[in-house]
């Protein structure tokens, strides 16, 4: 089986990132043993405290200054990157709940879940890039 990893880039104080934690916990549980989840916080907040406070069941560490996130093409967080054998096959939003800042709606498309499923099946991700809506990365 090919190694599949999901990296979640977030900020500890981003309200949208905080609202997505239950969905991320659900996805990690659904794909336990098949997909490795990790989170990287791009702000100066305490990543360990954030992980404990929100009961995040996968490793959380800091991406100081957002360097790794920028290299992955991340502009706003929360943003997910799905990697197959170290190569990015999806980058973008978790789902379409937030079409714009300050606007939420019922979820119609679960982009991250779809990307994970397609990757697990060895298929190309049909929509490999979506626009993440949330907090902009801090300045370098």
Q: In a structure prediction context, what are the per-residue pLDDT tens digits for the chain, which is 140 residues long?
A: 469 999 999 999 999 999 999 999 999 999 999 999 999 999 988 999 999 999 999 999 999 889 999 999 999 999 999 999 999 999 999 999 999 988 999 999 999 999 999 999 999 999 999 999 999 998 87
pTM > 0.85: yes or no: yes
Domain with 100, as residue range(s), is 4-136
14 closest CA partner among 79, 88, 71: 79
Please check whether residue 133 is in contact with residue 93, taking contact to mean a CB–CB distance below 8 angstroms. yes
* Structural domains in the chain (count): 1
Q: How far apart are CA 6 and CA 20, in angstroms?
A: 14
What's the CATH number where 88 sits? 3.40.30.10
| Backbone φ/ψ region at 134: left (φ over 0), alpha (ψ -120 to 50), beta | left
- Locus of tokens 């990893």: 5
């Amino acid at each position: 089986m090919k190694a599949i990893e999901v990296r979640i880039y977030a900020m500890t104080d981003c309200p949208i990132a905080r609202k997505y934690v239950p969905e991320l916990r659900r996805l990690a549980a659904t794909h336990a043993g098949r997909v490795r989840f990790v989170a990287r916080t791009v702000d100066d907040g305490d990543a360990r405290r954030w992980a404990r406070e929100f009961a995040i069941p996968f490793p959380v560490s800091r991406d100081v200054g957002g360097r790794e996130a920028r290299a992955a093409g991340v502009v706003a967080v929360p943003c997910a990157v799905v990697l197959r054998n170290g190569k990015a096959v999806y980058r973008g939003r978790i789902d379409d709940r937030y079409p714009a800042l300050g606007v939420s709606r019922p979820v119609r498309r679960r982009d991250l879940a779809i990307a994970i499923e397609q990757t697990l099946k060895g298929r190309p991700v049909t929509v490999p890039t979506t626009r993440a809506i949330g907090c902009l990365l801090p300045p370098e």
